[in-house]
Structure 1
């Protein structure tokens, strides 16, 4: 083990002595654990609580304590297999355990001391915690007078796998006060817990926090620094560093430095304390509790969004070249790749088209892309001139556009699958194919390619677009024209290639099978757009869009049955128009309801308030929800915040209470646990005179609440 010295930063104990000290301590810990192993299971527990996903046990290192004597408590949290609990700084998400003690007299119980945490990566996030049983140590002091120490505890801790389940308990414990008597059977618990704690550091150190970077400097002798192979710093407080970013080790002449990134917009760092985990070249590790001096080198609280966007400076020719190259590379991006199925049609039909027709289609495809780009860029410039903050791909931020694009891509896919016919340029292969049809198909493919390309950014595109949007209109149009040309260039170049035309196989029945197979990338594009639409609008809007899709398919089917009859065709067009209108009209957007509009005023949930209302003899409906709960929001739209349900509430005098669990709330967590729920939603109805509620299902229908209240009233 390495130690430094505050007074002499170059004091060198050397690797050999460090190993001897480490071996001695490890031997002592092993002997202590071995001596206490047989008595560990027999240690007298002060309290034990079995929760849904974990167990909490409290032990004391004394069977009885003398008046005013300090002693220790151990709180052990054992999560369910595969789940984890959290350190005092939970990292990117999660929550540290919270203990609220109520004590008699002048007894005290201090803040918990945590063992060395582990990194718990979850996708792009990194949390700090424990995926095994963990024991926290709490310093305590007995009361000066009295024959016992009595303590009540309200404890809350979070247990997570991918989902998280709050664990909440209330308990009391009693410890005799009189003659001091250690609990020998519990010593193994405390020895193991102390061995897992970080060692105190004897090194001087400082923590430098900048706007974007953080650096921990630990002053130690060069020989000590050489023993360190890697280092990681766990900060006690928030705003110090980016938890998910990698940390790097640097050896300096006066010790080691640990460098870390700091996220933009992070809160102000108020403490430099933390745990430094050192890994040595032989694979062993040591952890040290650090108390560095905090140094701030930049204004951490400066608003990030208030800064003016930097102006990209490029020569005009370089911006044009970047745009052209970026457009070519854009053909390989995931958002454009499905359109390659449409381009493939033109290639497989190339050997029965004249060179002139192939070249016309190539330029028609280019024109479709260029015109689409110009419309999009013109719209972008108009919106920006009006003060709206939009950027490239802004149209996919508009749910109506995304919904209509979903319908369009689905229609293209259905056409390719053979449900109905859209002229793409190879229908009727082997027959007399009018050049006009091929040109139309190529132009349409160009429009589609431009529309689906805009959410993607390829290499070289970003500096070109960033430069263009700071320039006069003519330069903007020129740069985006090169971008459009780059996107069209591969197809345009191939349309001038006689060798490609000769290489294509002769038309035949196989082409129909290829066309049907190439429909599936279009289905995937529609599925991706449906996902984007749902993320932007929510589950109710997704249901509207799915209904519109079914309406479009139904209209196509009716049209195919028409046999040329005008009334049937009009009906098909009417269904299709109504389906499109259902997206344009945004029926999923509902105005906020207020009591003035006839909606019952809600009361924030409180157990005490609920008891008071029940005593007054009124029926109560309580619903527990959260902003991040999709099921909750759907239920509220179709069952809770409806005219019918609200009218029933008014007519029956039902009091409505809302428990908002968007943020952690111990009282709501306790109610959820009481009713066997790991999370929201939860719906409770208390009839008049009832002390126990009726629990409604998690998925509600439009009449679930009104029917229940009517049945109880009857």
Structure 2
């Protein structure tokens, strides 16, 4: 069997994967250059094989070389599919698309055959989607059972086998196979588990060992799985037997415990009722696999500890640290949070303000420190209150939940970008945010310190400092009073460095004296802020996947407007004229990425010979999408290209008739239509220019927006000339 990655979840981090669409296109590009042209035919003459089909070889085999079985006994056999390089077939749950192999028997009296059995699969990702299946070689064991009344002699077992083999294009296949077995009176020697079939039999999932246990709790967002196995040394893979129970494309969260694992498996976003049972394959890194069916108990799972997003996390489980441990970790984590690239520039600005205000009264400096701390604590308390209210309403949220809101991410990215512009020296924020100008009146200066504390908290939300994970995980699993205590300690840790300097002014003597170095260092601190703005721009795009690239453009345009507004502020610093010009530009910059475009989806008509004939005589251009639910490449092309705003607008503006030939269930008319185009599988995309006598253009299996746009423009121009 091919070497493989165990888990479809273990290879993914808890953050969204970057550039899913680009990854999809690059992954499939080379493979898609090979179209399938052969006619679909049934291979085999009723013998065991091997028989060569399109992209694989199929055969039936037995463990016993003599294929012998006694009356009342059994014979272990299997279906073996040997695949061409890069092609794959599917597991019993194919994932986002696909169909598992099937076998239909015609058996003599007294002989029965079990269903095909499936060994643990490997994940087959294609961009943002995922299937489960097998590459190189797939072996599906089954058991032949002989009735005690069966007469000795040779008997023939006839089998009709069907499968779906895919690379970037999917091709259904079928074979007529068979086995001749010998029913003998005498004892039959137990065959050794050798060869591909023997390895597959040994790899079949088994019942959970004695002493192990699994429980499942189903909440509004996750199914929480707890495994007690007596050890946490092995990594595990999770494969659901049933579709639409968990979201296989979303990353799971997991926590290694002293005697097993805790897993938060995300449910599909559109799921409603909980399943009664959760049927799952649990596979360990030592190749042991277990078939588990566990009842699902309704109830909200415990909160996800932030440190549990990756297997083998170094931090201790949050439930073991206790209240005092959580408070201590929160305080230390808050202090370290000041060094994070989001927060450090804000702390640095406060340090500059402290250097510049060394001539102020000590009481005045202490007041600035206390107000700054109050701004941080008030912000933390507000976030925790909102978080607890949402969790009480059934939402499963954790630290940084604000980043799940595109609007919040857009405003935060704009704020950080604007602050970075100020640090470069384009203009001075001074009066509005950071108090760095040093010319504040008393009341305004205290207000500046308070809102700088608010700013420090806001820009800290994307960060998770060391030691914070366990403390936050503990806090979110406790009563509200404890949650507020832990987050208060976290806020105090964030405020502590500046607060300590204001409480002990003599410590400021260690700070360098004001000078030109301050401007240079201030400009240098803009670099991590610009980097943070870039990262938040990517997060913003991921929240709108698969059309994230299009949605990033308004945010980047907002950045440009912020730069223009900042120039006006720097052109007339501290003057009403500059503020009046810059203010509407800045407001427009914030509103641009918040505006949600209205997209009207085009309607695809079912392809039939009649609807196609009518479309051909209409004189309008036609776009035909030959697709199937089990075709992963089809789903990627539709999400990334055909359903995109650009292509929908292009098709709609040019009055295309859109026909979708759905080959999910076998349709002889669609098969024949594909063959006339020289194709035998899906995806296939065809453009018929205007005019019923125009020749069709068959597009490659891999679509890009640019490719489709150029082909449509070419066909429409040619039809206009004709």
Q: Smaller-chain TM-score range?
A: 0.5 to 0.7
Native 8 Å contact 2:337 2:494 kept in 1: no
1:329 to 325, 329, 333: 333
CA distance in 2, matches of 1:536, 1:246: 25
| TM-score normalised per structure 1 | 0.59
Offset, 1:343: 1.0
2:660 to 637, 657, 661: 657
Corresponding residue for 2:318?
none
Q: Assess, with a 3 A threshold, how the Cα gap between structure 1 residues 657 and 179 changes in structure 2: closer, same or farther.
A: same
Offset, 1:492: 0.5
Indicate the SS of the match to 2:343. helix
Q: Does 1:412 align with 2:412?
A: no
**Deviations along 1:543-602, whole A, 9 cap, x unmatched?**
221222222223334665679999997655443332222234x233x2655xxxxx6x42
Q: Does 1:445 align with 2:449?
A: no
1:543 to 534, 549, 553: 553
CA distance in 2, matches of 1:132, 1:113: 19
Q: Assess, with a 3 A threshold, how the Cα gap between structure 1 residues 56 and 522 changes in structure 2: closer, same or farther.
A: farther
**Deviations along 1:428-468, whole A, 9 cap, x unmatched?**
8xxx8667687565444312112134566654455556666
CA distance in 2, matches of 1:528, 1:278: 34
Aligned length: 581
Native 8 Å contact 2:334 2:492 kept in 1: no
Q: Does 1:344 align with 2:360?
A: no
**Deviations along 1:350-380, whole A, 9 cap, x unmatched?**
5551362543432342233244346556766
Offset, 1:48: 2.1
Q: Does 1:196 align with 2:194?
A: no
1:711 to 689, 703, 717: 717
2:596 to 577, 584, 587: 587
Q: Does 1:699 align with 2:700?
A: no
Structure 1 residues without counterparts, runs of 5 or longer: 1-42, 142-147, 160-164, 181-187, 218-228, 251-258, 280-284, 310-317, 594-598
Corresponding residue for 2:101?
98
Q: Assess, with a 3 A threshold, how the Cα gap between structure 1 residues 666 and 555 changes in structure 2: closer, same or farther.
A: farther
Native 8 Å contact 2:373 2:450 kept in 1: yes
Corresponding residue for 2:152?
none
Q: Over aligned residue pairs, what C-alpha RMSD do you find? A: 6.6
Q: Does 1:556 align with 2:562?
A: no
| TM-score normalised per structure 2 | 0.59
Indicate the SS of the match to 2:512. coil
CA distance in 2, matches of 1:499, 1:438: 21
Corresponding residue for 2:162?
154
Indicate the SS of the match to 1:302. strand
Offset, 1:414: 1.6
Native 8 Å contact 1:468 1:479 kept in 2: no
More moved, 405-414 vs 322-331? 322-331
Corresponding residue for 1:517?
524
Q: How does 1:174-573 map to 2 (within 5 A)?
A: 192-198=195-201, 210-211=215-216, 212-213=225-226, 300-305=295-300, 326=330, 329-333=333-337, 337-347=341-351, 350-351=354-355, 353-354=358-359, 356=362, 358-373=365-380, 376=383, 395-423=402-430, 442-454=449-461, 459-461=470-472, 469=480, 484-538=491-545, 539=548, 540-557=550-567, 572-573=582-583
CA distance in 1, matches of 2:201, 2:526: 60
Corresponding residue for 2:604?
602
Indicate the SS of the match to 2:297. coil
Q: Does 1:646 align with 2:652?
A: yes
CA distance in 2, matches of 1:107, 1:119: 37
Higher relative contact order (CA 8 A, sep 6+): 2
Corresponding residue for 2:51?
47
Native 8 Å contact 1:368 1:446 kept in 2: yes
**Deviations along 1:501-547, whole A, 9 cap, x unmatched?**
12222333222221122112212322332233223334132222122
CA distance in 1, matches of 2:205, 2:332: 57
Tell me which structure has the larger Cα radius of gyration: 1
Offset, 1:700: 4.6
Offset, 1:413: 1.1
CA distance in 1, matches of 2:375, 2:226: 47
**Deviations along 1:467-492, whole A, 9 cap, x unmatched?**
664x7xxx998987666444323321
**Deviations along 1:22-64, whole A, 9 cap, x unmatched?**
xxxxxxxxxxxxxxxxxxxxx996422454xxx4443668999
Offset, 1:408: 0.7
1:613 to 607, 611, 614: 611
Q: Assess, with a 3 A threshold, how the Cα gap between structure 1 residues 639 and 327 changes in structure 2: closer, same or farther.
A: same
CA distance in 1, matches of 2:235, 2:303: 37
CA distance in 1, matches of 2:255, 2:667: 33
Native 8 Å contact 1:349 1:507 kept in 2: no
Offset, 1:495: 2.2
Native 8 Å contact 2:92 2:100 kept in 1: yes
